[in-house]
């Protein structure tokens, strides 16, 4: 019996005036998963239809997709990706589907999710609470860099997963024992007089600036493990000023909001690098909040000096890689347009 989705009128944006049309049929082996694959009232299939301009009809465990040839190919990749996510036990929400749709333009999407014909494993990060897979085309390159480069610069707007993916990789390596410590740092751009007026001790004063790092950490590890590792020193969260004079060996080190470092701070931070360590430097070069306004960002300066140096990778995200609600990408475009 055909599902309700087969009764909807065909979208008008690809009627016969389009020259190259295609029709394919997909068949899935696990009928029990199809309800989750299709979504409530077939909402997941409707999302794919609306975004790619195809027509989808479902009957039993078969799905028929019709529309422009290239859009049908992308729909096939997206639907297969959705099904593989469910096979691997991952959640399938509108954000995950949107990311699969975006990545469907990449010819390697199938290999990214399931592993490729050469025997390379799928690209993913396993943590104690969840498994993270790429949610944008650029996150594919980023995750690869996180496994091979010594120092990674991740540049781009908010919402692209720069810090979140880095924290997930750090947690994964801490769990497997490939590093002994996880160090998360961020500049407190209002350090000094304003910071002094906040109540409490130094930890209370700087914690508001480091809250995003805590949030990502708790999303990847059970709370009791986070607290235990914080108490033991295995996980350290501190402002960049606390890094001075140290050598960070056997550690996964992340610097967030790096665009708000000065050149001197960035040089100090990068030269803390020790044996068996990895550093990730995240920031948005267009969101500099350094007091005074005329000081060059340490992030921009470091990238200009170090890009191309052996052992250092640079990943540049754009609004197309935003993995929050799609409107966030449009907001980023509006603020970074010619009148910005």
Classify residue 177 by its DSSP letter: T
Q: At 183, is the secondary structure helix, strand, or coil?
A: strand
pLDDT digits (tens, 9 = 90+) for 49-94: 998 889 999 888 889 999 888 788 888 888 988 888 888 777 788 8
The crossing angle, in degrees rounded to 10, of helices 94-103 and 137-148 is 90
Q: Confirm or reject CATH 3.30.1370.10 for domain 4-114, answering yes or no.
A: yes
Question: pLDDT averaged over the chain?
Answer: 80
Q: What does the pLDDT read at residue 41?
A: 87
Of the listed ranges 133-147, 183-197, 292-306, the one predicted with least confidence? 183-197
Q: What does the pLDDT read at residue 215?
A: 85
How many distinct helices (H) and strands (E) make up the chain?
Answer: 13, 11
What's the fold here for domain 125-335? Rossmann fold (3.40.50)
Nearest to residue 250, comparing CAs of 266, 262, 233, 225?
233
Query: What ranges do the domains of the chain cover?
Result: 4-114, 125-335
pTM of the entire structure? 0.66
Shared fold status for 4-114 and 125-335? no
Residue 192: pLDDT over 50 = no
Q: Which helix (H) or strand (E) holds 132?
A: strand 131-132
DSSP result, 257-315: SGGGS-HHHHHHHHTTB-TT-EEEEEE-TT----TTS-SPPHHHHHHHHHTT-TTEEEE
pLDDT digits (tens, 9 = 90+) for 29-52: 888 888 899 998 889 999 999 988
């Amino acid at each position: 019996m055909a599902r309700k989705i087969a009764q909807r009128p065909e979208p008008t944006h690809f009627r016969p005036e389009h020259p190259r049309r295609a029709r394919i049929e997909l068949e899935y082996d696990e009928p029990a998963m199809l309800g989750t694959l299709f979504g409530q009232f077939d909402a997941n299939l409707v999302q794919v239809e609306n975004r790619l301009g195809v027509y989808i009809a479902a009957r039993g465990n078969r799905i028929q997709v019709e529309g422009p040839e290239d859009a049908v190919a992308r729909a096939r990749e997206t639907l297969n990706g959705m099904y593989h996510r469910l096979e691997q036990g991952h959640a399938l929400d509108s954000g995950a589907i949107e990311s699969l749709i975006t990545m469907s333009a990449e010819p390697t999407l199938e290999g990214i999710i399931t592993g490729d014909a050469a025997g390379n494993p799928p690209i993913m990060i396993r943590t104690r609470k969840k498994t993270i897979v790429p949610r944008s085309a650029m996150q594919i390159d980023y995750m690869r860099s996180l496994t091979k480069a010594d120092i990674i610069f991740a540049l781009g707007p908010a919402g692209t997963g720069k810090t979140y993916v880095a924290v997930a990789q750090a947690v994964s390596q801490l769990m497997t024992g490939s590093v002994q410590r996880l160090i998360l740092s961020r500049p407190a751009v209002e350090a000094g007089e304003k910071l002094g007026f906040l109540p409490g001790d130094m930890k209370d004063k700087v914690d508001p600036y480091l809250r995003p790092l805590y949030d990502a950490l708790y999303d990847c590890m059970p709370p009791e493990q986070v607290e235990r590792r914080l108490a033991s020193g295995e996980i350290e969260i501190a402002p960049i000023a606390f890094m001075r004079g140290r050598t960070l060996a056997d550690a996964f080190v992340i610097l967030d909001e790096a665009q708000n470092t000065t050149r001197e701070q960035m040089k100090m931070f990068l030269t803390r690098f020790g044996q068996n360590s990895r550093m990730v430097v995240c920031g948005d070069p267009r969101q500099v909040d350094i007091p005074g306004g005329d000081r060059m960002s340490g992030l921009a300066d470091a990238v200009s000096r170090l890009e191309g140096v052996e052992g250092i990778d640079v990943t540049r995200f754009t609004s197309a890689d935003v993995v929050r609600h799609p409107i966030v990408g449009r907001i980023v475009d509006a603020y970074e347009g010619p009148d910005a």
